[in-house]
Amino acid sequence: MPPPEARLTVAVRSRAGRDEIVGWQGGHLRVRVSAAPADGAANEAVRALLAERLGAARSRIEIVRGHTARTKLVRVVGLDPAALAARLAMPGDGARPARPVARPA
């Protein structure tokens, strides 16, 4: 049986003042990273930021689509969609985040 996985859409702003998860806007998770988008540095910063927040290894975070775009589809292996949503819930956010998409069977 393969490990659980979830996917989420991430809107990235590169060259920000610091690396941070801004919060949910619609169905997108908004993040800011200080790295420039050149040579995949911003993508690696996004992976590292999500790995730290989710308590997962960076190798378990994969950018599936949008390597050169601001909006990316990210796959997280080892967490089901409910666990992913719970770990990315923002404090003081009255609305529940959009549910990440489960991998089809």
pLDDT digit string (tens) for 17-75? 999 999 999 889 999 999 999 999 999 999 999 999 999 999 999 999 999 999 999 99
- How many angstroms separate the CA atoms of 67 and 52, rounded? 20
Largest CA distance in the chain: 42
Mean pLDDT, residues 6-25 taken together: 95
Tell me what pLDDT residue 95 has. 46
For 8, 19, 22, 39, 86, the CA distances from 53, given in Å and listed in that order, are: 14, 11, 12, 24, 11
Structural domains in the chain plus CATH codes: 5-92 (3.30.1200.10)
Mean pLDDT, residues 8-21 taken together: 96
pLDDT band at 103 (very low <50, low <70, confident <90, very high): low
Instruction: List the alpha helices (DSSP H) in 4-76.
Output: 41-54
Instruction: List the alpha helices (DSSP H) in the chain.
Output: 41-54, 81-88
